Each structure stands twice: as structure tokens, then as C-alpha cells.
Structure 1
Amino acid sequence: MKANTLEEAVALTKKFTSKPSNEELLKLYGLYKQATDGDNLEERPGGFDFVAAAKYNSWLSYKGKSKSEASKEYIELVNSVSDKYL
């Protein structure tokens, strides 16, 4: 089963029977946020919230990428990892 749209890709991730690696999860998060919200303009999380900082940095790493390009990369990533997690 392969996704062709961002919505289908998001739906496909919800069907995963096991959890992707942290690296894959961060890439998925960053690409999804870039595809839906555009560039990360939020405040950097402070303190010892390492998960929030990792998510922030992942999203920030896609700065300047268009929403359509980020969406395309998100779909490709979901399709490439779906065989492992479905």
C-alpha cells in the first residue's frame, strides 16, 4: 500500500504496527511540519526538554524548503519505511 497524497501518508503512518526509529520519527515530524506550516518560526524550547528540542531542530533543518517539496519528501519517506512497519 502506497500513499500518493500527504493525507494518505499521514493515514498510513497511523496503521504502522511498530514504531519507527527515533531518526525516522524526527524526519517524519520535520517534513510534516514543513509541509503543513512552512518554516519554523517558533521559539527554541529551553531547559531540559530534549524531545521538544530534537523536534524543533528537525523541523528547522527543512527551513526554506517549499511546502509542496516537503510534502513530496514526506510521502516518499512514508512509502519507503511503510514496508518495515506495516
Structure 2
Amino acid sequence: MKANTLEEAVALTKKFTSKPSNDELLKIYSHYKQATVGDNEEERPTGFDFVAAAKYNAWLSLKGKTKEEAESEYIDLVNKLSEKYI
């Protein structure tokens, strides 16, 4: 099963039978946020919330990428990961 749209890719991630690595999860998250929100304009997390900081930095690394580019890369990434996790 291959996803062709953002919605299909999101649904496909819910069928993963095991959890992707933290790096893979950050790529999924950052591309989804860039595709749906655009550039990260949020406040940088403070304190010792390392998960929030990692997510913030992953999303920030895609700054300038269009929503369309991020969506296409998200779909490609999820399709690739589905071969490994479904």
C-alpha cells in the first residue's frame, strides 16, 4: 500500500507495527509540520524538555522549504518507512 496524499500518508503511519527510530520520527514530524504549517515561527522551548527541543530543531531545519516540497518529501518518507514497519 502506497500513499499518494498527505492524508493517506498520515493514515499509513498509524498502521506501522513497530516504532520507527527517533531520527525517523523527527523526520516524519518535521516534514508534517512544514507541510501543514509552513516555517517554524514558534518560540524555542526552554528548560530541559529535550524532546520538544529536538522537535523544534528538526522542524526549524526545514525553514524555507515550501509546503508542497515538504508534503512530497513526507509522503515519500512514509512510503519508504512503511516497507520497514508494516
Interval of TM-score (by shorter of Structure 1 and Structure 2): over 0.9
The separation in 1 between residues aligned to 2:60 and 2:8, in whole angstroms, is 24
Instruction: Give 1:26's aligned amino acid.
Output: L
Q: Please report how far the alpha carbon of residue 51 of structure 1 lies from its aligned counterpart in structure 2 after TM superposition.
A: 0.1
Instruction: Give 1:84's aligned amino acid.
Output: K
Unaligned regions of 5+ residues in structure 2, if any?
none
TM-score (norm: length of structure 1) = 0.99
Deviations 1:44-73 (A, max 9, x none): 000000000000000000000000000000
- The runs of at least 4 consecutive aligned structure 1 residues that moved more than 3 Å come to none
CA RMSD of aligned residues (A): 0.4
Unaligned regions of 5+ residues in structure 1, if any?
none
Q: Please report how far the alpha carbon of residue 77 of structure 1 lies from its aligned counterpart in structure 2 after TM superposition.
A: 0.2
2:73 is aligned with 1:73: yes
The separation in 1 between residues aligned to 2:81 and 2:12, in whole angstroms, is 11
Deviations 1:13-66 (A, max 9, x none): 011010000000000000000000000000000000000000000000000000
| Alignment size in residue pairs | 86
Instruction: Give 1:59's aligned amino acid.
Output: W
The separation in 1 between residues aligned to 2:40 and 2:16, in whole angstroms, is 27
Equivalent residues in 2 for 1:1-86 (5 A)?
1-86=1-86
% identical equivalent positions? 79
TM-score (norm: length of structure 2) = 0.99
